[in-house]
């Protein structure tokens, strides 16, 4: 029968009924309620259900002795507090019980004051253990909350960076006579090719930044050249070809954009070494820039330009295949050709963003970016 809710409850375990009743009386007269068990097995059944804050147990008992009980009880409740009753002849066993997790031992015959004092100390220890456990759980919850808040802040910051870069990319496109959708499409193509080519996810962010900002150096090119409707003269070309270097100077000062520098600086290099600004050849050209070249060419060919009409996607793929080894990295072209056209078409139409970002803006503009500049 369950004891009433007084102090305790204390689980008393002893195979001698007289001892159980004596202990019960000592505790009851001090205001404790108690459970009584005649051996370790009975005690364990009560313990499993009630998790009493204190157990007082004999050592030598039939069915299950005190040591065995302590082992099982502490497996059920690592903060279980147990006092062991022992005769003078069994002090060695009692000491063993301490190493098994007992809090203290009480010599028989039991001195009531000694027993009650030990019980108070044991219960105090239990309270301290539980307090510490609660404190630890509280701290762990606070740490988890703080980590979540920090992650959320980093995500918001990341979104802010991204939104800012998208706005900047769109502004660059617009100034160049292009469209806001150009940089988003090229970003979608580039990320799609990069993933298929095995570029790791942690490097895609740099690629994305580089794609969005590839022409940022054009802010240093006079409008008279940048927006000139006809072909450029040789000296105008010389100025125009400075935009990768200007772009590099602009973004290399921004720590979180440093990974994008190779793409911004080398986006006009060609596989055969005839590009600019350095005329790098083959794999000396950073991979991100080689991927960008294919993506940018795809967009240039599949949208109307001032001097050329858009060609069908399949024709653009053939043209890119033809230029593998001269303008483009053959391995990147292989990867590109292995991707179904439908994926690029979805990005082109604005139905997909290459699996990375928000919805691509519509492509309702036929004014083209100036390819090759």
Shortest distance in whole angstroms from residue 240 CB to Fe ion:
9
Q: Which is nearer to Fe ion, 70 or 240 (CB)?
A: 240
Shortest distance in whole angstroms from residue 317 CB to Fe ion:
22
Residue number with the smallest Cβ distance to Fe ion? 215
Stretch that binds Fe ion, among 61-69, 124-132, 209-217, 306-314 (CB under 5 A): 209-217
Footprint on residues 136-165 left by Fe ion (CB under 5 A): none
Q: Which is nearer to Fe ion, 65 or 215 (CB)?
A: 215
Angle at 95 between CA 91 and CA 98, to 5 degrees: 140
Shortest distance in whole angstroms from residue 244 CB to Fe ion:
7
Interface size with Fe ion, residues (CB under 5 A): 1
Q: Which is nearer to Fe ion, 30 or 371 (CB)?
A: 371
Among 108, 106, 100, 136, CA closest to 120 = 106
Q: Which is nearer to Fe ion, 119 or 221 (CB)?
A: 221
Shortest distance in whole angstroms from residue 283 CB to Fe ion:
21
Beta-bridged to residue 54, according to DSSP, are 10, 81
Distance between alpha carbon 332 and the CA centroid of its chain, in Å? 30
Pinpoint the alpha helices (H) of the chain: 17-29, 40-50, 66-76, 91-99, 112-175, 180-196, 201-213, 223-226, 234-240, 243-251, 261-266, 287-302, 313-322, 330-337, 341-349
Stretch that binds Fe ion, among 7-15, 132-140, 208-216, 363-371 (CB under 5 A): 208-216
Shortest distance in whole angstroms from residue 136 CB to Fe ion:
57
Stretch that binds Fe ion, among 101-109, 213-221, 275-283, 349-357 (CB under 5 A): 213-221
Q: What is the DSSP letter of 233?
A: P
Shortest distance in whole angstroms from residue 275 CB to Fe ion:
11
314 class by beta-carbon count within 10 Å (0-12 exposed, 13-18 middle, 19+ buried): exposed
Q: Which is nearer to Fe ion, 105 or 189 (CB)?
A: 189
98 class by beta-carbon count within 10 Å (0-12 exposed, 13-18 middle, 19+ buried): middle
Q: Quickly count: other Cβ atoms within 10 Å of residue 180's Cβ.
A: 19
Q: Which is nearer to Fe ion, 13 or 172 (CB)?
A: 172
Q: At 357, phi and psi to the nearest 5?
A: -120, -160
Among 263, 276, 268, 246, CA closest to 370 = 268
Q: Which is nearer to Fe ion, 52 or 210 (CB)?
A: 210
Footprint on residues 112-131 left by Fe ion (CB under 5 A): none
Q: Does 173 bind Fe ion (CB under 5 A)?
A: no
Angle at 215 between CA 210 and CA 216, to 5 degrees: 85
Shortest distance in whole angstroms from residue 237 CB to Fe ion:
12
Q: Which is nearer to Fe ion, 65 or 166 (CB)?
A: 166
Q: Is the peptide bond before 9 cis (omega within 30 degrees of 0)?
A: yes
* Residue partners of 137: CB distance under 8 A and separation at least 6: none
Shortest distance in whole angstroms from residue 287 CB to Fe ion:
18
Stretch that binds Fe ion, among 8-16, 211-219, 252-260, 344-352 (CB under 5 A): 211-219
Shortest distance in whole angstroms from residue 316 CB to Fe ion:
19
Shortest distance in whole angstroms from residue 224 CB to Fe ion:
18
Stretch that binds Fe ion, among 47-55, 169-177, 207-215, 288-296 (CB under 5 A): 207-215
Contact mark string toward Fe ion, 261..300, x via CB under 5 A:
----------------------------------------
Sheet architecture: strand order including 32-37 = 32-37, 7-13, 54-58, 81-86, 104-107
Q: Does 215 bind Fe ion (CB under 5 A)?
A: yes
Interface ranges with Fe ion (CB under 5 A): 215
């Amino acid at each position: 029968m369950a004891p009433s809710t007084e102090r305790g409850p204390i689980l008393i375990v002893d195979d001698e009924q007289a001892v159980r009743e004596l202990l019960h009386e000592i505790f009851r007269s001090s205001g404790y309620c108690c459970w009584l068990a005649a051996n370790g097995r009975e005690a364990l059944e009560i313990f499993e259900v009630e998790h009493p804050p204190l157990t007082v147990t004999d050592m030598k008992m039939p069915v299950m002795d005190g040591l065995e009980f302590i082992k099982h009880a502490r497996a059920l409740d690592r903060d279980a507090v147990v006092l062991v009753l022992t005769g003078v002849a069994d002090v060695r066993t009692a000491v063993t019980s301490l190493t098994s997790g007992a809090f203290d031992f009480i010599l028989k015959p039991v001195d009531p004051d000694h027993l009650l004092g030990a019980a108070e100390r044991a219960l105090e220890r239990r309270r301290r253990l539980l307090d510490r456990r609660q404190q630890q759980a509280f701290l762990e919850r606070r740490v988890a909350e703080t980590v979540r808040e920090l992650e959320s802040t980093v995500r918001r910051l990341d979104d802010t960076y991204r939104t800012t870069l998208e706005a900047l990319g769109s502004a660059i496109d617009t100034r160049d006579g292009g469209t806001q959708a150009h940089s988003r499409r090229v970003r979608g193509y580039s990320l799609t090719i990069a993933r298929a080519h095995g570029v790791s996810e942690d490097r895609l962010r740099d690629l994305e930044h580089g794609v969005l900002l590839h022409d940022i150096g054009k802010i240093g090119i006079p409008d008279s050249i940048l927006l000139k409707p006809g072909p450029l003269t040789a000296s105008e070309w010389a100025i125009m070809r400075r935009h990768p270097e200007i772009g590099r100077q602009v973004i290399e000062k921004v720590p979180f954009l440093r990974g994008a520098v190779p793409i911004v600086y080398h986006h006009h290099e060609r596989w055969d070494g005839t590009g600019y600004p350095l005329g790098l050849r083959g794999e000396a050209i950073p991979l991100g820039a080689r991927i960008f070249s294919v993506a940018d060419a795809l967009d240039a060919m599949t949208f109307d330009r001032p001097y050329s009409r858009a060609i069908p996607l399949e024709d653009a793929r053939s043209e890119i295949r033809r230029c593998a080894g001269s303008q483009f990295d053959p391995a990147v072209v292989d990867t590109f050709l292995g991707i179904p056209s439908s994926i690029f078409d979805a990005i082109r139409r604005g139905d997909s963003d290459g699996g990375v970002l928000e919805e691509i803006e519509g492509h309702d503009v036929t004014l083209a970016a100036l390819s090759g500049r």
